[in-house]
Amino acid sequence: MAGGVGIVRAAGEEGAHYQYYNGRITLFVLLSCIMAAVGGAIFGYDTGISGGVTSMESFLKKFFPEVYTKMEEETEVSNYCKFDSQLLTSFTSSLYVAGLIASFFASSFTRDFGRKPSILVGAASFFIGAVLGAAAFNVYILVLGRVLLGVGVGFANQAVPLYLSEMAPPKHRGAINNGFQFSVSLGVLVANLINYGTEKIKGGWGWRISLGMAAVPALILTFGALFLPETPNSIIQRTDDYEKAKLMLQKIRGTDNVQAELDDLIEASNFSKSIKHPFKKIMQKEYRPQLVMSIAIPFFQQVTGINVIAFYAPILFRIIGLKESSSLLSAVVTGAVGMFTTFISVLVVDKLGRRVMFAIGGILMLISQIIIGTIMAVKLGDHGGVDKGYALLLLLLICLYVAAYGLSWGPLGWLVPSEIFPLEIRSAGQSITVAVNFLFTFIVAQTFLAMLCHFKAGIFFFFGGWVAVMTIFVYAFLPETKNVPIEQMNRIWRNHWFWRRITDKDHVNVVGQMQESLLR
């Protein structure tokens, strides 16, 4: 909304008042957010590239010869167990252990130094990791490169979603923040295309190009971050220069009339500066809804099973009987579908709302996983493959699953946590979100190939069960957040049927009075 004061009545609310701010999407803020969203591209590129190179024969021969032997020579090994190697999964999952640890350092760094420096640190670390990966001559250098990539992703995933949510006008916050996941999807697609091309290089060194090309988006982000403006929220939080924050706010909103938004930022900042231990603060009762969501949403995002597809799509396609080149091409198709539906999510998220999209995506993912599991259980034995008709059907069902994820849990899993935290716990809350995401990404990545070997087709029913649980959870416990100004978000919890019973209303009112007195 361009300006004025409006009233929003959310589900279950009576007379909930939100003050809308003046402003619009300016070219300045759009370009800034596009550059920052490249932080998603480095994450997506690595996710796509690791799954592709681990299916390349030349890569397996050099670093994981026992896996290559099982895949090519031991015909008595079950289809589901050919890639079961803890060393191979360590290559993929080591990034997420590093990202998990880095995210906690990134929290205080982002709070104390700003969103922009945190993005810069993440980009530089990722660049160094990409160079090491391309130059690796043994598995230890390879894993060291993965660790540095993880540090980069940890800092970028901490800072970029916050940056986007703080820069965006409330009415368009969903679309702009979903640009992060769109960038992730674009990175996955580009990685799959590069893998498809480098696999054909004679001499068996194409995987070096695949790993090394991760340096390109990292380099773009490193130089781009030097020119990014800092968010007004961060300027106020770290300094007392309200005039500088006001000038930046006027620039990104495209209007001189920003006093209402500035007042809310100052209120939030004054209270934020009184909080010395944000991780201790977030444990208090009045922040219980945000704490639960900061854990539940990234947990559920990972137990959708999406990283089974993201990391191991080429491996899955080889399991059902496709050749190396065909499996990589199939991964390109799923990557393109994911990017397209994420773009659709960008267009509709601020119209349909978060809850509706979570529900639609959850139902479609559940249906596709059940059918995939059934076909593989009935048609794919321990040896051989499925015929071309069923292989095509499985590819289409996997595309449906990826499309549903790209519409819902992919972008919304990053959007919702980044917009629900008040300023005083925002960095801590985002850090918990990133840490939980990385923890369960690591667990899924590290255990999936072993689970596939033991569960076989049942692995899809396992993840499908979690999709059913998380869809019900979101419908019941997540209030709608579309169009709500980020510094007024605390009101949605006090009017929710469940959370209002837990939130200490008297304490929240006291906090509000403290903020008003600080302003005066």
> Alpha-carbon distance 50 to 53, whole Å?
5
Tell me the pTM: 0.75
> Alpha-carbon distance 43 to 151, whole Å?
11
The whole-number pLDDT of residue 201 equals 85
- Which residues make beta-bridge pairs with 18? 6
Q: Which residues contact 211 (CB under 8 A, 6 or more apart)?
A: 49, 53, 130, 133, 134, 136, 145
Give the H or E element holding residue 418. Answer: helix 409-420
Residue 93 Ramachandran class (φ > 0 left, ψ -120 to 50 alpha, else beta): alpha
User: Among candidates 78, 66, 94, 63, which has minimal Cα distance to 445?
Assistant: 94
Place of tokens 């003046």: 22
> Alpha-carbon distance 304 to 403, whole Å?
13
| Contact of 188 with 425, CB cutoff 8 Å | no
Give the H or E element holding residue 118. Answer: helix 115-135
> Alpha-carbon distance 117 to 109, whole Å?
8
For residues 433-472, one letter each, b for 16 or more C-beta atoms within 10 angstroms of the residue's C-beta and e for the rest, the string is bbbbbbbbbbebbbebbebbbeebbebbeebbebbeebbe
The whole-number pLDDT of residue 122 equals 92
The whole-number pLDDT of residue 400 equals 93
For residues 307-319, one letter each, b for 16 or more C-beta atoms within 10 angstroms of the residue's C-beta and e for the rest, the string is bbbbbbbbbbbbb
**How is residue 154 written in tokens?**
């940890």
| Contact of 110 with 455, CB cutoff 8 Å | no
CB count, 10 Å around CB of 122? Answer: 31
Q: Environment class of residue 160 by beta-carbon count within 10 Å: exposed (0-12), middle (13-18) or buried (19+)?
A: buried
CA geometry: angle at 94 spanning 93 and 96, to 5°? 70
User: Among candidates 161, 163, 206, which has minimal Cα distance to 184?
Assistant: 161
Mean pLDDT, 10 residues at a time, the chain of 520 residues = 33 47 77 83 84 79 77 60 67 83 87 90 94 89 90 89 84 84 87 85 87 92 88 86 89 86 83 76 89 94 79 61 66 85 90 93 94 82 67 85 92 88 84 88 78 80 94 94 83 88 59 45
Place of tokens 């350092």: 105
Q: What are phi and psi of 227, to 5 degrees?
A: -105, 0
| Contact of 219 with 128, CB cutoff 8 Å | no
Which amino acid is present at 126? F
| Contact of 130 with 167, CB cutoff 8 Å | no
> CA Rg, the chain, in Å?
23
Q: Classify 101 as helix, strand or coil.
A: helix
CA geometry: angle at 352 spanning 346 and 358, to 5°? 80
> Alpha-carbon distance 99 to 92, whole Å?
12
> Alpha-carbon distance 511 to 162, whole Å?
23
H-helix segments, 170-214: 173-198, 206-212
> Alpha-carbon distance 316 to 328, whole Å?
10
Q: Classify 56 as helix, strand or coil.
A: coil
For residues 203-237, one letter each, b for 16 or more C-beta atoms within 10 angstroms of the residue's C-beta and e for the rest, the string is eeebbbebbbbbbebbebbbebbeebbbbbbbbbb
CA atoms within 13 A on the CB side of 426: 33
> Alpha-carbon distance 239 to 332, whole Å?
46
| Contact of 60 with 71, CB cutoff 8 Å | yes
